[in-house]
Amino acid sequence: MYVKISLFLLIGIAIVYAVFLQTKIYQYSHQEPPQEADYLIVLGARVKGEVPSLSLQYRIDAAAAYLLENKQTIAIASGGQGPDEDISEALAIQRGLIKLGIDESRILLEDRSTSTYENIMYSKELISDVSGTGIVVSNGFHLYRAVLMADDQELHVTGVPGDTPKISVIQSHIREYAALTKLFIEKQLN
């Protein structure tokens, strides 16, 4: 009897926790970005050879849409080069933004990072006024964690979501739940 009650209690807690995470993910992917932000950080994602993955392409598309409407905003293309990538994620982002009409002079490259935390940390080094208005661009499921990490590094940003490839929605959200849980645990231990 106690095993059943404990199991139901655990399942109930897991459901409430998943609903909490999904609510936060939704909220952070539906914020209204400020106009004429000082900077915009495009977080890297996988590059296949020299071609952005669909997730990265959606980030590039969302960033370009914002940058075309907000001519004063500078872009930071952020992401290093993985072992199976022929170019850095930052260079793939830069090329994608240029193809979509963004002038190269508005794009700074951060090509050392290997994680979301490092994307933000190394991008921060390129920002002349960290108290300015900032935006971080990623896929919608990833923005809550990205904004939390930016806030931890004293960058107060709003998220602009790129779409999430339909084929990976469930997998992306499950991985994000795990990554958020890890982040929350690390915050408690520090």
Residue 168, pLDDT > 90, answer: no
**Token couple for 184:** 């929350």
Question: DSSP secondary structure string, 98-125?
Answer: HHTT--GGGEEEE----SHHHHHHHHHT
pTM: 0.92
In this structure, the number of other CB atoms found within 10 A of the CB of residue 92 comes to 28
pLDDT of residue 190 exceeding 80, the answer is no
Look at the chain and count its residues: 190
Residue 82 neighbours by CB distance under 10 Å: 13
Tell me the domain boundaries of the chain.
2-189
How high is the mean pLDDT of the chain? 94
Closest by CA to 172, choosing from 63, 82, 75, 53, is 53
Contacts of 75 (CB under 8 A, 6+ apart): 39, 40, 41, 42, 63, 67, 97, 102, 106, 107, 108
At residue 172, does pLDDT exceed 80? Answer: yes
pLDDT above 80: residue 112: yes
Q: Does domain 2-189 have CATH number 3.40.50.80?
A: no
**pLDDT tens per residue, range 86-99:** 999 999 999 999 99
Residue 3: band (very low, low, confident or very high) from pLDDT cuts 50, 70, 90: confident
Beta strands in the chain (DSSP E): 39-43, 47-48, 51-52, 74-78, 107-110, 134-139, 157-162
**pLDDT higher than 90, residue 54:** yes
